[in-house]
Every structure is written in C-alpha cells, then in structure tokens.
Chain A
C-alpha cells in the first residue's frame, strides 16, 4: 500500500513537472498579463465525497500552484460546520451543496451572502435502502426478462413497506445529509413521485416532518452506512462512495441514482462569501481557473483520467475509502444489488454538458424545491427567483476565468456557453416526466403532485391558504 501510494505520488510528480514544462512553453504569451491573486494562502473545506474531486485534482495536479495559489484542503466534520467556517472566514471557500449558498443568502438557517462562481459536478448521488426494506420492496418491483429488477425503481414500490411500518407502529426513518441538500430534495422528489409524503418544514419547525409518511433526518455522509447498519435509519440518500460502500459492506441496496431521478442534475458548487469575491477579485478568478482546469482534466479523453483520479481520491487525506469502492461509480458503472452492475456512464459528470457553468436555472430549481417543502414559507413572484439566483450564481466570474484559460491555450473555446442568458432549455428528463422551465418557477411548483402550491402556507401542523 505504502509503496503503491508512493508510485502514484511520483507519477503525479512526473506529470506535474511535465505540465509545468508545458506551461513554460505555452504560457509565455500569458505572462504578458499575469494574474496576481491578492491573497495566495487559502484554506478550502470539503466533505469526504467523490464530488470533491475538482479540489483534489486542482491541488494534486498543481493547477492551484500554477495560478500562484497555496491551498490547504481540509476535510470537515459535516455540512453545518463547513458552512459556518466559511461564514466566519476560517475557510476561504468550500465544496458546498448547491442549496447552501442559496439558503444562506435568503436567510434560511445561518444568514450570509455566499456566492458561487463554479458548479462542481452533475449527478453523483444515490438512494439506498437497508437489506430488510429491500426484501420487502422487491415483490412490488416489475422485473426484466433476465429476472433483474426493472429500472428506474419508483418509490411506489416502497409505499406498501412504509404502510407496513405504520401498521406496526414503527416510524419509517430515512437519512439525508442536510436540510438544504440536493439529497434532501432528490429523496423528497423520489418519495413524492411514488406517493409517499416526505413532510413539510414549518415556520418554527426545521425537522421537516409535518404530515410525513417517511421521516427524514440529517446524518453526516460518512456515517450513513454505520447508521443504516445500526438500524437507526431504513434508507438514505447520499453522494458516492457511501451507496457503493453499503453494497460492499452488504448492509444495503441502492435502488436508484439521481441520474434516473433527474438526468444530469446540478449537484455541488464551490462557495465563497460575496465579501471574499469583492475583496480579492483576482483570487476568486484564479481559484475558478484552477477548478475549471481540474474539471477539464477529470472528463477529458472520455474519462481517461478517472482511474488516476480514483487513486488520488482514495488517499486518506481526501475521501479515504477503498479505491475499488470509489472506482465503482467514478468509472461509469453503478452496482445496485450485489452483482447487479449496470452502466451509468454519466453518473459523475465534471465538465461535459457545461457542468461547471453556474446556470441560474439550476439555482432556481433548488429554490422551487425549498418553496415546495415549506422552507420558503410564502409564495414569491417569478422575478424574485430570478433575482435571488443572480445574487448567488456568478457566471460573470466564471466566464472571465474561462476566457483567460482559452487565451492561455489551456481550454477550448467551444467548451463554454459564452452567449447563454443563464437559463438551460426546459427539460422533462425527470423520473415522472414533469417539465421544468427555470423561467417559470411558479408554474412548475404548481405542476408538482405533493407539495405546497400557490399561496399555501404551513400554520402549526396544517396547510392553509390553498
């Protein structure tokens, strides 16, 4: 193991020096207008998940150093600690859930103006249930000709199981990673699409279990498997490697990936405080440049570098899980039941499909879900959604960084959406086929089955004003 690590390290070194040499050759034109970061010693936080990869790669491949940045990467205990430390300035920036900068900016939870110049990835999550629940679900799932379960699996197969638990007077508990996490909204979307009510958030109630059939609660990602094993929760929605870990540990079965819930959904973002971006504009640009390069590296040549990325991520200072567990999803396949490996080539997308561009429509989808489940207590006009997205998502910084990379010959002009207005085309690539158009958030909210609509509000434990 030790010698193996060292070999990788040396290989990385050799690559690094090769890159620097290349930089010397191709980067001379850029030295004419060098970018000097105002603050060059930075600490970034991350949670041990494979989608922190752009940070690890930017560090290990010396993309940060190329920008004159001296970065320390620090794993954090949980999302709350991570966010608080960014707000207090202990961390200069962090790998964040897409909902975190939005929620902080609109004042749900800790209030602070956080912006994001860079989206980190698409997809990458899964929903896993315990072996016991899987056995109870299985009879309700139609099978393919080969006898394997038909995918995508709808939560309607879980509905009788939840009923069963209720009959026995037992709560059906599920874990997600944070109240404003992608995972929370994906899990809720999946449950609601299958007719299971995931519960509302009230005015003074942050548990999100009002009227719930399934009780969702927060568990830090690395603890998901052990909490499932302990029987505290019966299923969870989390990023990789913690779904594949359940398969390896033989304690649970992943039933669906978020790719099947919403094809190419935006997942993590890189968050910094608005104050940081104002105070250190060049630093923000330099960081964005390094991260874009890392994302390009992760996806280039049809994922050719993924195996090396897996080796890097499996180091204890990053994700630290076994390489084979991480490789399971990073390299284009996903294992559901033990032995049921299916190709999911886009399970982790870091650069393709403009994954790194901070689209307003991505932000607005999260805001619609916050409204749907009562985290935004009152109805807001469409214009409010647009304004909020614009204060948090900053494609201007992104495009500036991209332009510099193109000029330095480190990125391809064709890879960036230079002329977009920040809205992706309307899409119906959802599990239930309901179309989402970021320009009409209220119409979208009203078209969803379970959830608050129009002027509805939660008063106490009841829905009023509908």
Chain B
C-alpha cells in the first residue's frame, strides 16, 4: 500500500533538486544569448556552479576552456622562444613580455597626454585672465587642446571611420540587393558591375577616392575631417559587395509558395516587403553584413596606412617610420588590438543576427 508521500516527495533533497532544476532552466535560458555574444565557454562553468555535476559539463569545460587556453599558451611560448632568434635591424623581434610593456607604456602615454591637456587648459585660463586684465576681454578665446592623438584616440577614430563606412555601405547595399533579388532585370544589369568591382583592392580605390573627396568635399566640418571621409568611403567601396550579394541571394531564394500566398491575399508591395521578403531574407542579409564588417575593418587599416589618415593604421605606419627600438613591440600591440577589435565586431554582428533572426544556426 502506498502513501501519498511516495508521490509527493517533500524531503529537503528533492526540494533542492527542484531548485537546482529551476536554476538550470534559467541557465539554459541565458545560455543562448551568452554563446551568441561569445561567452559560450562560460556556460558549462555556470551550469556547474548552478549544481549540474554531469560529466558532460566537465567535458565541455575541457573542450571549451582548457583546449583554447592550451592553444594560447603554446602560441605565447613559441613566440617567446622564437622571437629573440630573429635579429632585425631594429633589434630582436620583441617577445610577449616586451609587447606587454609597450602596451603599458602606451597606456602611460595616454594618461600623460591627458595631464598635458589639463595643463594646457589651465594655461589657457591664465592667458585669458591676463587678456581680461589688460582690457582685451573681447579677445578671450577658448580652444581645444592640440596635442597628439593617444593610442586610445586612434582606436576610437578607427572605430568611428569603420562605422561610418559600414553604415553607408549598408544603406546602399541592402536596398540594391533587395531590388536585385526581386527583379531579375535589375540583377542582370547590376551583376556584371559587382563581378568587376568586387575584386578591386582598397589601395587601388584610395587615390581616386582621395581626389574625388578633395574635389567635392570642400568645406570640411571639424567633426568629419577630409581624411576620415576618404577612409570611410574606401571602406564603403570595399565592404558593400558581400552585403549586396547575400541580400540579393536571400531575397531571390524566398519560398515560391509564400510569394503565391501574397498574390492570393493581394498584399500591397510595402506589406509584401516587410512581412515576407525581409523576414525570410534576414539571415542571409546578416551573413552579408558580418562579412562586410570584417572586410571593412581590414580595408580600413590598409587605407589609413597608405593615406596617412588618423587611426590605428597610421599608428602602425608612424611607428614603422620611427624605427626606434620599441617600434616593433608597439606595432605588435597594434596588431593584437586590431585582431581583438575585429573579433569583437564580428561577435557583435553575430549577436545582432541572433537577436533579429531567432536562429543561431551559425
């Protein structure tokens, strides 16, 4: 004879288990956004912390945390070992330690520069006070500090440039891509152009862009200096192709049944676009955008290097020109920075894709 107790187990252990399950369910809910933001490797850690002691989680820790760490350490060790073997005319290639020191030095310079700026403003106040005293109150001026851009300023400049270029590229490529996908005639007209311009290197565009921008953008605004516009447009020219192609592909491969449905329901073109075309093409559009941003970031560095436009590319080139014994280490800091930022931008796009398309198939 069974009692109800057997069915309704209210012992502490089972309550704990229920709580654990609830916790794990919560972890499951947040695990998808976590992995889309690139923190997938944290999921097993969180699960174990939440009380999931299954061997699969420990395996996951092994594969998602330990293996990458081993890879990174192996790389660092190889770098530290091999770097001093190569003697360039600027001294031996710096190892991880020197690079780390230069990263610290760059941060130090950033702080020092900010102090300089502070001192500059203090001096300016003094001068202006003197002017007022001398009876030239109308001559008082407030000017921005004219010091050099620090490493962090350069990073921000680069990010700003790539964002502008990428937004312009998206605004051109997505509508054009949709047009290409919907009407084969447009596609036939645009396709040859895509094929010809897609393989062109940014460095080939750069002189043309420079000339055109100099001719058209005469009265430059302080917020958008000519050099920044040149870099941004070069980024645009090189990064719009992946978005264009993928958008066209996404739109043209919509399920024919859906299109028939829209005909039956007699949907207006606007409705058809927003309800049918865009939702089904979004995953591919985002694939295109992700590729575009990656290309844009790569192109930007090259453009900045060649055109001497402010940003990380110029930083690298200037350091190369400086040819001091720290130059190589500083360039390596920049290389790692460029790589990490590129990776983060890619993750950001992936997260957006997941947020918009509800399918983390990639």
Residues of A bordering B, CB below 8 Å: 1-3, 5-6, 9-10, 13, 16-17, 20, 24, 31, 34, 36, 40-41, 48, 62, 65, 68, 70-73, 75-77, 81, 88, 90, 222-223, 225-226, 229, 245, 249-251, 314, 316-317, 319-322, 325
Q: Which of B108, B141, B148 has the most CB of A within 10 A?
A: B148
Other-chain contact of B134, A5, A9, A31, A62 (Cβ < 8 Å) = A31
**Chain B: which residue is nearest A90 at the CB level?**
B226
A residues less than 8 Å from B139 (CB atoms): 34, 36
Docked CA distance A250–B318 (Å): 23
Docked CA distance A314–B326 (Å): 11
Other-chain contact of A9, B101, B115, B143, B324 (Cβ < 8 Å) = B115
Other-chain contact of A75, B102, B214, B318 (Cβ < 8 Å) = B318
> In this assembly, does B186 line the interface, its C-beta being within 8 Å of a C-beta of chain A?
no
Other-chain contact of B89, A10, A249, A322 (Cβ < 8 Å) = A249
Docked CA distance A121–B338 (Å): 40
Other-chain contact of A1, B89, B90, B105, B141 (Cβ < 8 Å) = B105
Interface members, chain B 107-126 (any A CB < 8 Å): 107-109, 111-112, 115-116, 119-120, 123-124, 126
> In this assembly, does B325 line the interface, its C-beta being within 8 Å of a C-beta of chain A?
yes
Beyond A2-B107, A6-B111, A34-B139, 16 additional pairs, beta carbon < 8 A: A2-B106, A34-B136, A36-B136, A40-B143, A48-B322, A65-B123, A65-B124, A70-B144, A71-B146, A225-B89, A249-B89, A249-B90, A314-B324, A316-B319, A320-B318, A322-B324
Residues of B bordering A, CB below 8 Å: 89-90, 101-102, 104-109, 111-112, 115-116, 119-120, 123-124, 126-127, 130, 134, 136, 139, 141, 143-144, 146, 148, 214, 226, 308, 318-319, 321-327, 330
Docked CA distance A314–B322 (Å): 9
**Chain A: which residue is nearest B226 at the CB level?**
A90
Docked CA distance A338–B168 (Å): 55
**Chain B: which residue is nearest A59 at the CB level?**
B146
Q: B321 to nearest A CB, angstroms?
A: 4
> Chain B binding site: helix, strand, loop or mixed by DSSP?
helix
> A40-B141, A320-B321 given as contacts; is B327 within 8 A of A62 (CB)?
no
> Is the pair B318, A316 in contact by a Cβ cutoff of 8 Å?
yes
> Is the pair A320, B323 in contact by a Cβ cutoff of 8 Å?
yes
> Is the pair A226, B89 in contact by a Cβ cutoff of 8 Å?
yes
**Chain B: which residue is nearest A323 at the CB level?**
B324
> Is the pair B146, A13 in contact by a Cβ cutoff of 8 Å?
no
Docked CA distance A320–B327 (Å): 9
**Chain A: which residue is nearest B88 at the CB level?**
A249
> Is the pair B325, A251 in contact by a Cβ cutoff of 8 Å?
no
B residues less than 8 Å from A251 (CB atoms): 89
Docked CA distance A81–B207 (Å): 13
Other-chain contact of B108, A2, A10, A223 (Cβ < 8 Å) = A2
B residues less than 8 Å from A65 (CB atoms): 120, 123-124, 127
**Chain A: which residue is nearest B320 at the CB level?**
A222
> Is the pair A316, B322 in contact by a Cβ cutoff of 8 Å?
yes
> Is the pair B326, A1 in contact by a Cβ cutoff of 8 Å?
yes
**Chain A: which residue is nearest B124 at the CB level?**
A65
Q: B284 to nearest A CB, angstroms?
A: 41
A residues less than 8 Å from B119 (CB atoms): 13, 16-17
Other-chain contact of A2, B104, B134, B308 (Cβ < 8 Å) = B104
Q: Which of B106, B107, B134, B321 has the most CB of A within 10 A?
A: B321
